[in-house]
């Protein structure tokens, strides 16, 4: 059986499949979406607070989790315990309440907002006047 050079009788189904161009990035993201991560400036702000609190002896360890729906920076007093605080980034809440939040051990949200630096001000200590 010889191939017809005019293309008549050719298998059109295989030709259609070859003509489809698929964006590899979109294909991979549909199969396994990329996890939410902290950007460099966000991590800089978080680690600046972390370094200050370690210097004061309040925090000892941390963990970073990148999940499909949020990124979490957990702070520990001791590595074998529950986290004292969780700093979370949830992009689904960005248009509503703000993507960033600080949550304590009990699950209570201490502060939430759109700007991470403003949210991290929850860790700023109020100076107290000490009587002699």
What SS3 string covers 47-68? HHHHHHHHHCCCCCEEEEEECC
Q: In which domain, by residue range, is 45 found?
A: 40-123
Asked if residue 20 belongs to a domain, the reply is: no
Is residue 4, in this structure, part of any structural domain at all?
Answer: no
* 90 in a structural domain: yes
Rounded average pLDDT over 109-116: 94
Q: Is residue 103 part of a domain?
A: yes
CB–CB of 113/129 below 8 Å?
no
If one counts the domains in the chain, the total is: 1
Structure confidence by residue, pLDDT tens digits, 27-80:
766 776 778 889 999 999 999 999 999 998 889 999 999 998 999 999 998 877
84 token code pair = 């004292």
Q: Do 102 and 111 form a contact (C-beta atoms < 8 A)?
A: yes
Q: Is residue 31 part of a domain?
A: no
E-only strand ranges, 4-132: 61-66, 71-76, 85-89, 100-104, 109-113
- Look at residue 35 in the predicted model and tell me its pLDDT: 85
Residue 99: pLDDT band with limits 50, 70, 90: very high
Domain presence at residue 130: no
pLDDT(16) > 60: no
Q: Per-residue pLDDT tens for 63-77?
A: 999 998 999 999 998
Is residue 24 assigned to a domain?
no
Considering the domain boundaries, does residue 33 fall inside one? no
pLDDT at residue 60, as a whole number = 92
> How many C-beta atoms lie closer than 10 Å to residue 111's C-beta?
16
């Amino acid at each position: 059986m010889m191939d017809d050079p005019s293309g008549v009788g050719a298998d059109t189904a295989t030709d259609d499949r070859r003509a489809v161009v698929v964006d590899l990035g979109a294909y991979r993201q549909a199969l396994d979406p990329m996890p939410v991560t902290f950007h460099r400036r966000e991590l800089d702000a978080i680690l600046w607070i972390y370094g200050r609190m370690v210097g004061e002896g309040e925090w000892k360890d941390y963990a970073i989790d990148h999940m499909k729906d949020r990124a979490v920076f957990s702070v520990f007093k001791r590595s074998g315990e529950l986290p004292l605080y969780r700093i979370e980034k949830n992009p689904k809440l960005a248009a509503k309440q703000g993507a960033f939040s600080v949550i304590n051990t009990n699950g209570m949200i201490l502060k939430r907002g759109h700007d991470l630096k403003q949210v991290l001000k929850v860790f700023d200590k109020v100076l107290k006047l000490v009587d002699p």
